[in-house]
């Protein structure tokens, strides 16, 4: 539990002596740091983690990675599932501050609106690590580091692949886009990166773009609307595999062949997505790795020890074509 970084060695020695002499009397009154605040310096790190939810295969793999890595690193993990709600994340973070955890980590459901609670954590001297998604706070001192993917790059890679595929297209190529939840960093950034890349070919046009909330159900429902409203859809860009998988059902139900009548590009490369790619139903995936747990625990140990860490740590990722998915699938971990 909590280690007070402001205590000097003589102060600690005096505190130890006092507690020995008083045979627990002071602690019983609850006015020492170890007794009253519920925190004790037993050398064990406690991390409070607020997860976005369980909206996708990616998220499930991410949660498993964090829980497994905490257990392997000997870090006590307090875990909260915010069920896609920012107010739940803020509540969880405030609880962690009250409990005086050593480190707070979280994956923000949306980018904006975190300054107040981050300031509360800073005032309580609890370091915060952003993982997977970042925040748009101007004050970078409110968190120690951001560990996660470059979402703009993922969108750009998806767009660049499409530009290459359609370089000989003589007429308009109609694209529909399934965005992640409104205000989320991966939704904003993937949209941006994709738009930047396809601007290279004026034939490539996004004719409809709606949030599908990163879920299969959302992807299916919004794709149904797209298909009803647009007689000619050539390409689907889904901001994650799950929405792409949901859209497959809508496309098949509309009598079209996914991967052939409609080119499908997604992001993540979780097993189900990779299977759809290997089966020829998807055409291209930009990878987003959910295996952030081990790096997160290393960072927690470092910030707890007062070490400097890089303000931005980017996840290593690749892309997959159908042939590459077939090759990679047998060894895919998630």
216 belongs to the binding site for ligand AHR (CB under 6 A):
no
The rounded distance, in Å, linking the Cα atoms of 294 and 289 is 12
Burial, 41: exposed, middle or buried (Cβ in 10 Å; 0-12, 13-18, 19+)?
Answer: middle
The reply on whether position 282 binds ligand AHR by CB under 6 A is no
Q: Measured between alpha carbons, how far is 228 from 216 in angstroms, rounded to an integer?
A: 18
Q: CA 307, CA 295: separation in Å to the nearest integer?
A: 15
Q: How far is the CB of 111 from ligand AHR (least distance, A)?
A: 11
CB of 240 to ligand AHR, least distance (A): 4
- Please choose, out of 51-59, 162-170, 222-230, 294-302, the segment that lies near ligand AHR by the rule CB under 6 A: 51-59
**Contact string 134-163 vs ligand AHR (x = CB under 6 A):** ------------------------------
CB within 8 Å of 187: residues ≥ 6 apart: 179, 180, 181, 211, 214, 239
Q: Is 258 a binder of ligand AHR (CB under 6 A)?
A: no
Q: Are 109 and 83 in contact (CB under 8 A)?
A: no
Given its phi and psi angles, is residue 202 left (phi above 0), alpha (psi -120 to 50 degrees) or beta? alpha
Between 151 and 226, name the residue whose CB sits nearer to ligand AHR.
Answer: 151
**Residue 133 engages ligand AHR in binding (rule: CB under 6 A):** yes
Q: Which residues pair with 262 in a beta bridge?
A: 258
- Segment (H or E) for 185: helix 185-198
In the complex with ligand AHR, the residue whose CB is nearer, 59 or 100, is 59
Report the alpha-carbon distance of residue 330 to residue 271 in Å, rounded. 10
The smaller minimum CB distance to ligand AHR, of residues 2 and 239, is found at 239
Contact with ligand AHR (CB under 6 A) among 198, 268, 276, 322: 268
Q: How many CB atoms lie within 10 A of CB 277?
A: 28
Number of residues that bind ligand AHR (CB under 6 A): 13
Binding of ligand AHR at residue 213 (CB under 6 A)? no
Q: Binding to ligand AHR by residue 289, rule CB under 6 A?
A: no
- Binding track over 175-204 against ligand AHR, x by CB under 6 A: -----------x------------------
Tokens 């059902």 -> residue: 249
Where do contacts with ligand AHR occur on this chain (CB under 6 A)?
55-56, 58-59, 132-133, 186, 214, 240, 242, 267-268, 288
């Amino acid at each position: 539990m909590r280690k007070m970084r402001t205590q000097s060695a003589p102060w600690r020695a005096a505190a130890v002596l006092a507690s020995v002499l008083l045979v627990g009397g002071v602690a019983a009154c609850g006015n020492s740091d170890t007794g009253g605040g519920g925190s004790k310096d037993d050398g064990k790190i406690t991390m409070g983690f607020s997860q976005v939810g369980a909206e996708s295969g990616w998220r499930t793999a991410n949660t498993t990675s964090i829980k497994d890595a905490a257990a392997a690193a000997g870090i006590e993990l307090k875990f909260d599932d915010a069920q896609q709600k920012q107010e739940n994340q803020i509540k969880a973070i405030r609880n962690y501050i009250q409990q005086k955890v050593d480190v707070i980590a979280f994956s923000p459901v949306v980018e904006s609106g975190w300054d107040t609670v981050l300031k509360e954590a800073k005032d309580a001297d609890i370091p915060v690590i952003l993982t997977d998604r970042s925040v748009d706070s101007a004050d970078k001192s409110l968190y120690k580091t951001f560990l996660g993917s470059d979402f703009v790059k993922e969108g750009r890679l998806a767009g660049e692949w499409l530009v290459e595929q359609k370089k000989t297209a003589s007429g308009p190529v109609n694209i529909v886009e399934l965005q992640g939840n409104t205000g989320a960093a991966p939704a904003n950034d993937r949209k941006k990166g994709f738009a930047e890349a396809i601007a290279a070919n004026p034939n490539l046009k996004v004719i409809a773009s709606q949030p599908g909330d990163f879920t299969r159900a959302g992807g299916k429902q919004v794709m149904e609307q797209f298909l009803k409203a647009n007689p000619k859809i050539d390409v689907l860009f889904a901001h994650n595999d799950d929405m792409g998988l949901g859209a497959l059902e809508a496309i098949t139900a509309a009598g079209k062949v996914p991967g052939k009548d409609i080119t499908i590009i997604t992001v993540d490369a979780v097993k189900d997505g990779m299977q759809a790619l290997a089966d020829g139903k998807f055409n291209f995936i930009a990878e987003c790795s959910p295996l952030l747990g081990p790096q997160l625990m290393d960072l927690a140990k470092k910030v707890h020890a007062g070490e400097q860490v890089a303000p931005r740590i980017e996840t290593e990722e690749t892309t997959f074509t159908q042939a590459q998915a077939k090759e990679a699938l047998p060894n895919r971990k998630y």
